[in-house]
Amino acid sequence: MQQGKGKRSSKYSVENGVFQLNKKAIIIGAGIGGLCTAIELQRTGWKVSIWDKANSLTGLGAGIVLAPNAMFVLEKLGVANDIRNHGSKVDKAVILSWDGKEIMCLPTDIQAQKYGTHSYLIHRGALQTILRNKLKKETSLHIQKELLQFSESEHKVTAFSKDGSTEEADVLIGADGLHSKVREILFGPQPLRYSGYTALRGICTLKDNVLMDEHGGGFEAWGKGKRFGFTKIGKGKYFWFTAINTPENKEIPKLERKTKALHLLNGWCDPINAIIQATHSDDILHHDIFDRTPLTYWSSNRVTLLGDAAHPMLPNLGQGGAQAMEDAFVLTQSLNSTTDITKALKEYEEKRIPRTTKVVKQSRRMGRLVQIENPLILQARNTMLRRLPTKLFIDRMHWVVGYKIK
């Protein structure tokens, strides 16, 4: 339905002696993208209501990397210092072969000088807590509130919850992740794209810091169709993952995940075995890794998508959270540039879709590079990377990590 010019349903308020139109947004999903959007919207005068279907916001998850482009957005949101205090900066990033031979050392210090900030690693739950603490008391956060459907009229969108309640707003934002209900309502069921590999991820505490000093706090090791990554995430915690080429839907029961990881990486370089051994079985997650074919548009009148709901990507560039943060800032800018919601959402798409589509595609290409099984191609890859000049690597990654929201 086309947007009209009639009387709007929003009410006026007085702030500093000036009449202002109270604009309201409903955000579906209290993850990183949804929280960043709420923070920026409330900062610019919007009333915000967040719905999340989870029973509690306990901060489950693993580590997340925040490259300079993510830190640029977090600076604007006013939480970058909290990230630095609770997370861990990436001092050194080393890629090894499965038996411990160095393939390349990523130029993290040079990148930090170039962009004015290091990359940081932090537990996803800690990041979400920091973001939630930035919400104003006027911003409502509802848990156990699952979206059933929504309807749009000329001047509003109405969200219907499974608990029978409804809520009206000027705009509805689907930030509800890979299995987004908002996306499904807008575009119908769409298949996931399996990456070709599954992942085990864990959090542990290590007492022997000598192991960590040797590797600068973390590394990745690449083998035949497998890889292992490990890094400190602050507060004495360390995050690790392993990605294994395998058919999809091969569930690994929780009590077998630790044994499975040890078996798959048997004989790999130190301290991989010690890292896995130090992890409690309950702290090991297992997920097949998926993305989706990029969409050519995300919106319908007063409803749009953001983050993984719009452009789920493989984690090979460490950009899932960063791209959601960029979305949040650009969406808010667009919504504040005009009173025409449909026009604002179109502007948001035009600014974001080309970039996120490129990141989705490049993340998939990177996955093919790092999960190689053929021994000859694997050897050729390692030789090529050993010879890669530092400047060339920085230049090739600039479009991703050096991107700064204006």
> Is the C-alpha dihedral spanning 331, 334, 335, 336 positive or negative?
positive
By the 8 A CB rule, do 306 and 327 touch?
Answer: yes
Residue 60: name the closest of 125, 115, 156 by CA. 125
The structure tokens listed for 194 are 């399996």
| Domain containing residue 334 | 12-192+292-401
pLDDT for 155-184, tens place per residue? 999 999 999 999 999 999 999 999 999 999
From CA 364, how far away is CA 369, in angstroms rounded? 9
Assigned domain for 150 exists: yes
pTM of the predicted protein model: 0.92
pLDDT < 50 regions, the chain: 1-20, 210
Packing angle of the helix pair 108-115, 68-77 (nearest 10 deg)? 40
Which CATH number do you get for residue 392?
3.50.50.60
Q: What angle do CA 84, 239, 144 make, to 5 degrees?
A: 80
Assigned domain for 367 exists: yes
pLDDT at 269: 95
Assigned domain for 216 exists: no
Helix, strand, or coil (residue 160): strand
Assigned domain for 287 exists: no
pLDDT at 216: 54
Assigned domain for 116 exists: yes
pLDDT for 141-158, tens place per residue? 999 999 999 999 989 999
pLDDT at 63: 85
Assigned domain for 51 exists: yes
Assigned domain for 328 exists: yes
The strand order across the sheet containing 226-234 reads: 102-106, 93-97, 218-222, 226-234, 237-245, 193-205, 284-291
Assigned domain for 47 exists: yes
From CA 121, how far away is CA 20, in angstroms rounded? 40
Q: Say how many domains are in the chain.
A: 1
